[in-house]
Amino acid sequence: MPRAFTMRAAIRSGLIAGVVMIYLVAVGIASAFAKREVVTGYLTLGHLMLVIPPLAIGYAMAGRPLPAYGRVTQALVAGLAAGTLFAAAFLAAVALSPGIRLVLNRVSTALLDFVGFRNLGLEPATGALLNLGLAGALALIGGLVRIAPVAVRRAIVGGGSALLVMSMVEPFLRPRLLQLSLSSVAQFIYTSHGLATLSAALILALGAVLAVSWPKVRSTARSRLAAADPGTRSTLRWAAILVAIAFLYTLPTLSGSFLTQVLVLVGFYVLLGLGLNIVVGYAGLLDLGYVAFYAVGAYFTALITSPTSALGWGLNFWIALPIVVLLSAMVGLFIGAPVLRLRGDYLAIVTLGFGEIARVLLGSDALKPWLGGPNGILSVPFMLGNGTYFLPIVGKVTGPAATYFPLLGFCILAAFIAYRLKYSRTGRAWNAMREDEDVAQATGISTVNYKLLAFAMGASVGCVGGAIYATHLQGVVPGGFLLLVSITVLAVVVLGGMGSIAGVIVGAFALIGTPELLREFAEYKLLVYGAVLVAVMLLRPEGLIPDASRRAELEEARELEEGELKVEYDEISGDA
Amino acid sequence: MIGSLLEDPDPVRRPSNLSLVDVILWALRVAIVVGVAVSTFVTLSNTRLSGDQWRDLFIFGISQGSVYALIALGYTLVYGVLLMINFAHGDVFMFGGMTAFFAADWLNDNGLLNTTPYIAVPVILLVGAISSMIVALLLERIAYRPLRRAPRLVPLITAIGASLFISNSVRGLYGDGVKAYPRVDFFQGTFNIFGIPILKSHATVIVSALVLMSALYWFVERTRTGRAMRAVSEDKDTAALMGIDVDRIISITFAIGGMLAGAAGVLYAIVYNQVIWSMGFLPGIKAFTAAVLGGIGNIIGAMLGGLILGVLESLAPTLLLAGYHVPSPNQLRDVIAFSVLVLVLIFRPYGLFGRPEGK
Amino acid sequence: MTTTDPGLIMDPAPDDGRPLLVATNVTKNFEGLVANREIDFEIPRHSIVAIIGPNGAGKTTFFNQLSGVYHPTSGTIEFEGIDISAMAPHVVAGLGVARTYQNIRLFQNMTVLNNVMVGRHVRMRGQWYQAIAGLGGIRQEEDATRRRAFQLLELVGIPRRSAAELSKNLPYGDQRRLEIARALASDPKLLLLDEPTAGMNPGETRQMTDFIARLRRELRLTILLIEHDMKVVMGVSERITVLDYGEKIAEGTPAEIRANPRVIEAYLGKQATA
């Protein structure tokens, strides 16, 4: 490849990285994250944000099929291009300052000082040059990491990630350690503003070691598993699930109040995600109005169980629940029936329309006598013993944990139902319908019935989530049922992998847990959701945890075959 | 070619075919027709809205509808060439309105806005149009082009993500708050046309929209590029075989749609006086409704659909609900728009001016 | 396996001379374009019948009416004496009609095994609540279906180790055969094959022709083919019907059709017979 050509590509990639850096600063991400220190006195998260684009572009550039010298040069060139663009933008911003703040409202003098390393006493011009140099250097480092031997690469990535994670978890790990009377540990790891230098070094080393040894560990485990017989494998699988459930059971006690609240929020989205997974992942129906089922569940529960609601029946939650589920399923059928003949995009938009109509109606003055208008319905009693009760091992349960346990139970139930459906005739019918509706019909699948079934199931799961939500907040307000909820649940399912149960769980933790734990992130939550949706569709549409059904199918087939072989053998050795 | 379709384009519905679903749908149709008729009758006999008030509502509907029409054109053009719903188009509209604000503000600061409105206002429109065009082009290049051959759901999900991304980026870039457009003396007061008083701002919006729509129509019908666009929306692959650079045409389509949306953003600001980062969603959905109402892929349909929807949205809350003394019927204005959307897609997805199974 | 497992016979009914499918005066009209005009057509039980004709003659439209995807604008179609003219496609499939497609339409992101198992949908009875609760003999039904699926895969010649592959990753020939396996999974009485040898080289075509003959012989299936490859048509069918411009222009044995001047004219134009 002629050198000029590849140079141009490197420059272009570098410019893109530069744009990303400018974007991060202009939108305010860099400054928002600058408040969090990663390593005390040396590094903030904001700096890290700006470090990532040149590092990444250097890493990417060095992946090209060129000799080592060429790859590193590519990386350097890309980094310098990024740095030049960024420096130029910086100088332009300084020149236009303070007026520029009227348009790009984050670009304050404080921000410009931050970018220009004013804290080191540098003038803007020097600061710009420093940025340029840093970008080039970082890209170079990224490139060198790329061409380094695999083990070194793993060590660096592992160590770096460990460092990052430990610094991110500081806001709640430290208080937790103190609560558990492990203050000396806390003081060793953290200073008042981030990781202490010594512990940072240790964490780096530990992360590196783990990362390097991981591939070996994994392949050993895999081969051991493959060699084992189906019986052992099945037992192991059940054991793993039981261990996980036991861990989740004790989690609130380990985590403390704040983290339990986060877990509850994640749990709601896991439940909703499992429901939407059936509609979108299994049956392929893009439902953008999923929040409507959530709202139906919540509002019906509130109406039936609250003594001060328009109905005022004040029934017990557990008696109300089956009624609410039934009503929800019917609503699901009513929404599903008219949209059956619609395909893809149109189905999505119509369901979005339904969801929005529901939202407006819920808060409207017209329905106020029934639904309480913008104030909603209050005095919804908690589902178990007034919010305080006792459980084995865990003891007294109160506060957010009181919602956690029932929610966990329902999530496990929903996951179980989803799992069973997936590997059944119904699941296969849904998949076929998703893949090719016309051929599925010709194969004997009544698409009308199966679409309705998917809607009804999705509605039921969503409504249970809503019911729990109503008792959790002990009331319902229309503001909790925005389109945004539907889109967030969709993002959870998409990121995790459409159709994958484990994926929903991972997606929920990633998308819902992270903003709660990283408060700085929370302000840009939606922006990240949008970026995640686009990125997943462009780069990895099957999601983080693609459908595991292939592996499962093969295993079941092997079990069957081995069982049959055994039968044949018996026959042969018997009386042929 | 017909045989390759596996859905009967000309289904024969015999009585033995009817299912519960069909019954429900017919019941729904009847309920709606009866409901609208009865409500209208009740309102007209119970409430005393003067002819003038109805007329003013109508005119407001036309001007609002013009804005919808301009945005709807973007949806319909893109659907025509790519068969996808550009969910992020509403945010393209928003970007134009927001960016043009700074131009308006600057022109106001140095007085040019009010001394030379005939130059200043088109400049603002231009700024809006160009900034929206840039976003639309970036959108196509980054998010949609790589997914040309993907199954239909994938670009839709991408578009949703893009919409979130754009609106929240603007929130970060330009800020959280509402931006109030400066007062333009030219827009104060009313024109008197054939004895009917029309707000100058409304008149400007309607006239500008008409000019832009005519320009678009001329472009699509009479220029080579326009012809190429029509060819690509008929059959992309054949058009490519004919020597048309499909990628370029698609980019041009997005650009034009973007420009119209950006201009619409400025016109919207003229009517409502303020813009905010979140203003893309509702007008976007409503414009999409308009496009579908007129028959998606049909340019005249999008224009007419926009106007019809604007008028419907203006008149219907009062017409249908005031008679029942429903408190604040205007809260339910959005419900009317969404209901039109849902009903059109369920009962007549090819719109008023489209044909069944046609593109 | 050279001897057929009796469990594989799809249509054990005797050849009583009654036709399996009767189409009477079938016309399909698409808003002015008459794709099929007044076609009378019969398929005797356990026979192999072919429909041929130039492109655009209306063959696939006719096929689609037989499988319930389209409904005739006028005329009737009877399958085993039952009028299927207004039936939904999934009901027709339940009666025993299965088909393959001109451009292969597998369920791409499903595994090979699942493609075949879902083909058996109409013969299974497991409902969603039974699946969740694990009751109603669900386990046994799934096992039986899986066994059947493997049997069919072996019959069409797809190796067992491919069972967990995604069907879109199979080589072309295997994909075609998988489509047939999927069709066979529903224990059909009538198998509609839409250009089964499209895209195949002469060797593969010969294999497919033998296979079709074998399907009729060993599984006692009734087969209706659309084909363009005359060697296949002449080699394996007992009766041939020729369509042109939506009308039936000839019908008879391969020998009769070969010599029919109208047929030759339809394919090659008037000059050929002049």
**What six digits make up the tokens of C179?**
């489509």
Measured in degrees and rounded to the nearest 5, phi and psi for residue C240 equal: -125, 135
Summarised one tens digit per residue, pLDDT across range A217-250 is 888 888 888 777 777 878 888 899 999 999 999 8
Between strands A37-39 and A43-44, the pairing is antiparallel
Query: With contact defined as beta carbons under 8 Å apart, do A424 and C126 qualify?
Result: yes
Q: Are A154 and A211 in contact (CB under 8 A)?
A: yes
**Residue C58's closest chain B neighbor by CA?**
B3
Looking at the partner chain, which of A416, A420, A435 has a beta carbon nearest the beta carbon of C109?
A435
AA letter at A575: D
What is the per-residue pLDDT for A573?
Answer: 39
Give the chains touching A; criterion: ≥3 Cβ pairs < 8 Å: B, C
Contact A354 B85 (CB under 8 A): no
Interface check C36 vs B, CB under 8 A? no
Q: What is the CATH number of the domain that holds B148?
A: 1.10.3470
Q: Is B9 on the interface with A (CB under 8 A)?
A: no
CA distance C178 to chain A (A): 14
Three-state SS string over chain C comes to: CCCCCHHHCCCCCCCCCCEEEEEEEEEEEECCEEEEEEEEEEEECCCEEEEECCCCCCHHHHHHHHCCCCCCCEEEEEECCEECCCCCHHHHHHHCEEECCCCCCCCCCCEHHHHHHHHCHHHCCCCHHHHHHCCCCHHHHHHHHHHHHHHHHHHHCCCHHHCCCEHHHCCHHHHHHHHHHHHHCCCCCEEEEECCCCCCCHHHHHHHHHHHHHHHHHHCCEEEEECCCHHHHHHHCCEEEEEECCEEEEEECHHHHHHCHHHHHHHHCHHHHC
> Which pLDDT belongs to residue A556?
61
Per-10-residue mean pLDDT of chain A, 576 residues long, equals: 70 92 90 75 77 89 80 89 92 86 86 82 86 91 87 86 80 77 78 74 86 86 79 84 90 83 95 96 93 94 89 88 94 86 87 92 84 87 83 84 93 95 94 93 93 94 95 91 94 94 94 85 89 94 76 59 52 40
Residues 6+ apart with CB under 8 A from A315: A304, A305
**Confidence class for position C270, pLDDT limits 50, 70, 90:** low
Q: What is the model's pLDDT at position B75?
A: 94
Position A552 scores a pLDDT of 59
Contact A381, A317 (CB under 8 A): yes
| CB-based contact B306:B213 (threshold 8 Å) | no
CA dihedral B276, B277, B283, B287 (to 10 degrees): 140
Amino acid code (one letter) for A140: L
C-alpha A344/C-alpha A280 separation (Å) is 11
- The percentage of chain C sitting over the pLDDT mark of 90, rounded to a whole number, equals 54
With a cut of 70, say whether residue C68 has pLDDT above it.
yes
Query: Structure tokens of A143?
Result: 């490139």
In the prediction, which pLDDT does B1 show? Answer: 33
pLDDT, chain C, mean: 88
Name the residue among B259, B67, B94, B101 with its Cα closest to residue B165: B94
In the beta sheet, which residues pair with residue A476? A377
Task: Provide φ and ψ at C191, rounded to 5°.
Answer: -115, 125
Q: Distance (Å, rounded) from C-alpha A449 to C-alpha C24?
A: 32
Nearest to C178 by CA among C196, C164, C160, C158: C158
**Candidates C94, C111, C119; nearest CB to A553:** C111
Rg (CA), chain A: 28
What was the pLDDT predicted at C182? 96
C86 in contact with B, Cβ within 8 Å: yes
Q: Give me the long-range contacts of A115-121 (CB less than 8 A, separation at least 24).
A: A115/A25, A115/A30, A115/A50, A115/A90, A116/A90
B114 burial type by CB count under 10 A (0-12 exposed, 13-18 middle, 19+ buried):
middle
B307 in a domain, yes or no? yes
Closest among A292, A336, A353 to B340, alpha carbons compared: A353
Percent of chain C with pLDDT over 70: 95
**Dihedral (CA of B44, B47, B52, B56) sign:** negative
Within its chain, how far is the Cα of A553 from the centroid? Answer: 27
Cis amide leading into A98 (omega within 30): yes
What does the buried/exposed string (b/e) look like for A16-48 if buried means 16 or more CB atoms within 10 Å of the residue's CB? bbbebbbebbbbbbbbbbbebbbbbeebbbbbb
State the pLDDT at residue C181. Answer: 95
Q: Confirm if C168 and C106 have CB atoms less than 8 A apart.
A: yes
The chains in contact with chain B, meaning 3 or more Cβ pairs closer than 8 Å, are A, C
| Inter-chain CB proximity C31 and B9 less than 8 Å | yes
Nearest C-alpha neighbor of B129 from the set B288, B255, B303, B225:
B255
Whether residue B33 lies inside any domain: the answer is no
* Residues C262 and C250: beta-carbon distance below 8 Å: yes
β-strand pairing of C247-252 with C239-244: antiparallel
pLDDT in tens, chain B (359 residues): 333 345 565 555 544 455 677 787 888 888 888 888 888 887 777 767 778 888 888 999 999 999 999 999 999 999 989 988 999 999 999 999 999 999 999 999 888 888 888 899 999 999 999 999 999 999 999 999 999 888 878 999 999 999 999 999 999 999 888 999 998 888 888 888 887 888 888 999 999 999 999 999 999 999 999 999 999 988 888 999 988 999 999 999 999 999 999 999 999 999 899 999 999 999 999 999 999 999 988 899 999 999 999 999 998 888 777 666 666 666 778 888 899 999 999 888 888 887 665 43
Q: Give the number of domains in chain B.
A: 1
Q: Which domain holds residue B189?
A: 51-347
Of C66, C3, C45, nearest to C216 by C-alpha is C45
Interface contact C60, partner B, CB < 8 A: yes
* Cβ C11 vs Cβ C222: under 8 Å: yes
Chosen from C64, C69, C70, C107 to mutate, greatest number of chain A CBs within 10 A: C107
* Domain boundary assignment for chain A: 3-222, 260-482, 552-576
Length of chain B: 359
Rounded Cα–Cα distance for residues C127 and C146 (Å): 17
Burial class (CB in 10 A: 0-12, 13-18, 19+), B229: buried
At position A442, the amino acid (one-letter code) is A
Phi, psi of A349 (to 5 degrees): -65, -40
Tokens of C10: 């799809």
pTM of structure: 0.90
The CA–CA distances, whole Å, from B17 to A335, B21, C71, C270 equal 22, 11, 11, 44
Assess if residue B230 is contained within a domain.
yes
The alpha carbon torsion through A275, A276, A280, A283 (nearest 10 deg) reads 20
Å from B304 to nearest chain A CA? 21
CA distance readout (Å), C59 to A117, B24, B353, C256: 76, 36, 33, 20
Supply the DSSP string of B106-166, one letter for each residue: HHHHTTHHHH-HHHHHHHHHHHHHHHHHHHHHHHIIIIIGGGTTS-THHHHHHHHHHHHHH
What topology is assigned to C20-96+188-274 in CATH? Rossmann fold (3.40.50)
The H or E element containing residue A195 is strand A194-195
Q: Can you tell me the distance from the alpha carbon of B339 to that of B331, in angstroms, rounded to the nearest whole number?
A: 14
* Contact between chains at B10 and C31 (C-beta distance less than 8 A): yes
pLDDT at A551: 57
Nearest to A444 by CA among C98, C93, C117, C189: C93
Q: Is B10 left (phi over 0), alpha (psi -120 to 50) or beta?
A: beta
Q: Is B255 helix (H, G, I), strand (E, B) or coil?
A: helix
> Does any domain span residue B96?
yes
**CA C147 vs CA A280, A559, C59, C140: distances in Å:** 30, 12, 35, 10
Rounded to the nearest angstrom, the minimum Cα separation between B9 and chain C is: 7
CB-based contact, C164 to chain A, within 8 Å:
yes
Query: Which one of A435, A451, A556 makes the best mutation probe of the C interface by having the most chain C beta carbons within 10 Å?
Result: A435
> Comparing C-alpha atoms, which of A524, A518, A486, A490 is closest to residue A504?
A490
Is A426 in contact with C126 (Cβ distance < 8 A)? yes
Any idea where the domains of chain C sit in the sequence?
20-96+188-274, 109-186
